[in-house]
Structure 1
Amino acid sequence: MNYYRIVKTAFGHTAVAFCDLPFGLLEVRLPTLSLDDLCQPFDHRGWQIDHQHPDAAAVANMLVRYFDGEQVDIPWPVMDFSCFTAAQQAVYRAVATIPYGSTASYKQVARMAGLPRAARFVGTTMAKNPYPVFIPCHRVIKSDGSLGGFGGAVQAIDLKRRMLALENQAGE
């Protein structure tokens, strides 16, 4: 069975989705002010809310700390990338190395992943990122320094801007 846990952060409500036996993180949802928008994708799949699981609580707490301005570790052991191609996995690993408070262009990430001509591929891979914040796709920007896409919505660009500002403030 798959479950999700909702948590309130300084940026709004977010959620972690997980399976419990063994515990595995399925996806992370970026903060939103609408609980309906947050829960709908999980509810449509028949997933249930679970606010008791201690491992889910630990991951959710990491998100709260991140949105409070704290740098958090990536919970690699509970994240599953097996459904992604080797090239996509290389992109996710490369993005994970972008330091807190820093950015890299899609082109730079492509080079870091060993795919020097695949900047667009990086963008499409980031659009499928199941673990935003932990795989910090918000740190990937266009070569001209503009923010580029994020989360598929205009409002999400503001969230990306706020996340980058949060990291820059925390690093000062």
Structure 2
Amino acid sequence: MYRYRIVETAFGFCVVAFSVDPFKLLQIKLPASDLDECCQPFDEGHGRIDNSHADVLPIAASLIRYFNGEQIEIPWSVMDLSRFTPSQQAVYRSVSKIPYGETASYGQVARMAGLARAARFVGTTMAKNPYPVFIPCHRVIRSDGSTGLFGGGEPLKVKMLALEAARR
């Protein structure tokens, strides 16, 4: 069984799913305005709500700060990328290097990860990103400058990019 914490941010309710022993982040759910809708997948997956676990408090605080327009650190020590292939891990690490307030195309990320001509692979990998915000997949756009797809929906992606651009 895993636990989850509800985090109220300026953009809506986020959910942080985590394991306890040892503490590891399992998933970040991007903000939604409907709390029941946000929690439903975690309740159905037999997660247990835990809004007071000490190790999740700094993660929650980081999400609140991010959605208030602040740059945040990536909590690598509690993120488990071992479930991904080395190529997927390379993509996630490359995306994490896109500076706050900037973007890179799927093709640029592929080249950064040492996977030239693998733009579609980057897109597929971004769709599996369990740590949005910390691995900032919202900063990956199409080569024509359009936003492309996003797990939180295009309006949220546009809003996150605008937030970063305004604070850069």
TM-score, normalised to structure 1, is: 0.96
C-alpha displacement at 1:55, in angstroms? 1.3
- Aligned residue in 2 for 1:146: 146
Percent of aligned pairs with the same amino acid: 64
Question: Counterpart amino acid of 1:130?
Answer: P
Question: Counterpart amino acid of 2:85?
Answer: T
d(CA) in 2 for partners of 1:49, 1:120: 36
- Aligned residue in 2 for 1:41: 41
The SS at the match of 2:82 is coil
Say if 2:54 is the partner of 1:50. Answer: no
d(CA) in 2 for partners of 1:115, 1:129: 18
- Aligned residue in 2 for 1:164: 161
d(CA) in 1 for partners of 2:89, 2:41: 24
How many residues align? The count is 168
List aligned pairs for 1:17-166, cutoff 5 A: 17-151=17-151, 156-166=153-163
Question: Counterpart amino acid of 2:78?
Answer: V
The SS at the match of 1:117 is coil
d(CA) in 2 for partners of 1:23, 1:62: 17
Listed as ranges, the gaps of 5+ residues in structure 1 are none
C-alpha displacement at 1:58, in angstroms? 1.0
- CA offset digits 1:19-63 (Å, max 9, x no partner): 111111001010001112211111111010001111111101100
Question: Counterpart amino acid of 2:54?
Answer: P
Listed as ranges, the gaps of 5+ residues in structure 2 are none
CA RMSD, Structure 1 to Structure 2 (Å) = 0.8
d(CA) in 1 for partners of 2:139, 2:54: 29
- Aligned residue in 2 for 1:3: 3
Structure 1 stretches of 4+ with a deviation exceeding 2 A read: none
d(CA) in 1 for partners of 2:104, 2:90: 15
The SS at the match of 1:159 is helix
C-alpha displacement at 1:3, in angstroms? 0.2
